[in-house]
Structure 1
Amino acid sequence: MVAALRTVYGALMLVSSVACVCGNLLLLAVLLLNKELRSETTGLVVSFSVSDLALGLSALPLAAHTSLTRPSGYAGAGVFCQGSGFLFLLLLTSSIHSLTWATVDKFTEICFALSYRRIWTRGRSRAVLLAVWLFCVLNAALPLVGFGSYDYSERRYLCCPSFGPENCVFVLLWMSLGIVAPIVTTCSLYGYMVYAARKQARRGTFVCNELHCFYVPANVYLRSSVVMVATSACLLLCWTPFICVCLYETLSGQQTPPLTCALSVWLVLTSSALNSWITCMTQT
């Protein structure tokens, strides 16, 4: 049973890795080759795409390699395990925070269209990016200086933060500020944009240019609502099992079944493959 689980887990990680790398390379290529898609806040999209691409090139293939060829894992105190744990935490946190700020940008563009250019200037966009990455680096560095710890997880086939009662404060801090808060913010903003889109669809809109005016069909707004609902659903589906498993192990001191643990990690890493495709769907 354990050998079969390792094989399936490794195969799923390889598939997700390929999808992640291809999707994020495609998104970056589209942004780089089309000047019309660039704006003062393009760096936010590039930030989470680069984070997801790095996860697709590091954590995903490493988990696949470990589960298929190294059942004994790595020495938790070794430099390689500590470094890969730092990278895992850094990229996960930067990905979700960058995605949240990209959602804030979209929310501002839709709900504050007249003042959008004044709110999101190039300087403010760069300041947000700097603050996001500074927070993520400091957060990932805490276990290296003794606040929390990195260790090899036999049920995740990865070096990652150690989820146990001895690291309760660090895990709760990371989960609340690094993961839960941005996810709740993203889903709340999408929820409000769906409400605004449905309201606009019922009211109807005319868009005018220099020559004539034309009616915007309601299905344009409803189609965007479906995409935003799907985005929030995918985000919750991928992250909720991982959050629940980590909090349960930290607060109770008990280990979850290997299948549950492995599935939660695969889902959260697969979100890095879905982000790029979802972003392409939400663009005009």
Structure 2
Amino acid sequence: MILIFTFPVQPRYWPYGSDGCQTHGFQGFMTALASINFIAAIAWDRYHQYCTRTKLQWSSAVTLVIFIWLFTAFWSAMPLIGWGEYDYEPLRTCCTLDYSKGDRNFVSYLLPMAFFNLAIQAFVVMSSYQSIEKKFKKTGQFKFNPNTPLKTLLLCWGPYGVLCFYAAVENANLVSPKLRMMAPILAKTSPFFNAFLYALGNENYRGGIWQFLTGQKIE
């Protein structure tokens, strides 16, 4: 008997055309911006949990979640109607915000988008965890490392932000495509790091996972 195995060949280019590129760019950019906004929301919630001893109510949490998705959907939809643009990434395997032109349209979109979706969020994360760190030092009880969230945010999204701002003042096409791909690849590792940072790094989540796997509670 001869067994024949067939494996689908993944093309090394975007196979879904221009419309698929726009859809993929919108979906990917919206979830990316939402991720950054949720990181800031978690920092704000943790600040109140550890510093003011107040918990976020369910109604407030639901409102915040809805606002973040609508807010990021707005900014992600702008390139679909001409303010900014989605296009292929340098290796043409997927689509993202097109920074290659670096024209006035791109710059006019980049600056407010980055301010409202990265700068403010980074400030919220930094100020929240600085306050938490001071609180931990006073009590002598460090429940987690308050410096890690900001470092992780900047590690994942910093290079992509630098690349976009570089494209606003210089010709980004002069940079090697493979080198330009490193920035979005780093950004796409954000969910992986967030899983460890916000889930496995939380003692309650760890305890729940351990109990689920072993049936035993962590004392």
Q: TM-score range by the shorter chain?
A: 0.7 to 0.9
Q: Is the 8 A contact 1:73 1:154 kept in 2?
A: no
Q: Aligned residue for 2:82?
A: 146
**2:156, 2:98 → 1: CA distance?**
20
Q: Is the 8 A contact 2:87 2:98 kept in 1?
A: yes
Q: Aligned residue for 2:11?
A: 70
Superposed structure 1 runs of 4+ greater than 6 Å apart: none
Which letter maps to 2:188?
L
Q: Is the 8 A contact 1:85 1:159 kept in 2?
A: yes
Deviation at 1:100, TM superposition (A): 1.1
Q: Aligned residue for 2:67?
A: 131
Q: Aligned residue for 1:262?
A: 181
Q: Is the 8 A contact 2:21 2:95 kept in 1?
A: yes
Q: Which one has the bigger helix percentage?
A: 1
Q: CA RMSD in A?
A: 2.2
Query: Runs of 5+ in structure 2 lacking a partner?
Result: 1-7, 205-219
**2:110, 2:81 → 1: CA distance?**
15
**2:120, 2:179 → 1: CA distance?**
24
1:159-198 equivalence runs, <5 A:
159-163=95-99, 164-165=102-103, 166-198=105-137
1:1-37 CA-partner distances (Å, limit 9, x unpaired)? xxxxxxxxxxxxxxxxxxxxxxxxxxxxxxxxxxxxx
Q: Aligned residue for 1:4?
A: none
Q: Aligned residue for 1:199?
A: 138
Which letter maps to 2:139?
Q
Q: Is the 8 A contact 1:155 1:262 kept in 2?
A: yes
**2:92, 2:51 → 1: CA distance?**
41
1:77-156 equivalence runs, <5 A:
78-113=18-53, 116-117=54-55, 120-155=56-91
Q: Normalising by structure 2, report the TM-score.
A: 0.79
Deviation at 1:128, TM superposition (A): 1.2
Q: Is the 8 A contact 1:156 1:261 kept in 2?
A: no
Query: Runs of 5+ in structure 1 lacking a partner?
Result: 1-64, 202-219
Deviation at 1:122, TM superposition (A): 2.2
Deviation at 1:150, TM superposition (A): 0.8
Deviation at 1:139, TM superposition (A): 0.9
Alpha-carbon distance change, 156 to 267 in structure 1, aligned in 2, over 3 angstroms: farther
1:42-84 CA-partner distances (Å, limit 9, x unpaired)? xxxxxxxxxxxxxxxxxxxxxxx9xx943343577x2100000
Q: Which has the higher contact order (CA 8 A, sep 6+)?
A: 1
**1:141, 1:273 → 2: CA distance?**
26
Which letter maps to 1:182?
Q
**1:75, 1:151 → 2: CA distance?**
12
Which letter maps to 1:70?
P
Q: Normalising by structure 1, report the TM-score.
A: 0.62
Number of equivalenced pairs: 192
Alpha-carbon distance change, 156 to 187 in structure 1, aligned in 2, over 3 angstroms: farther
Alpha-carbon distance change, 102 to 71 in structure 1, aligned in 2, over 3 angstroms: same
**Aligned residues with identical type, % of pairs:** 21
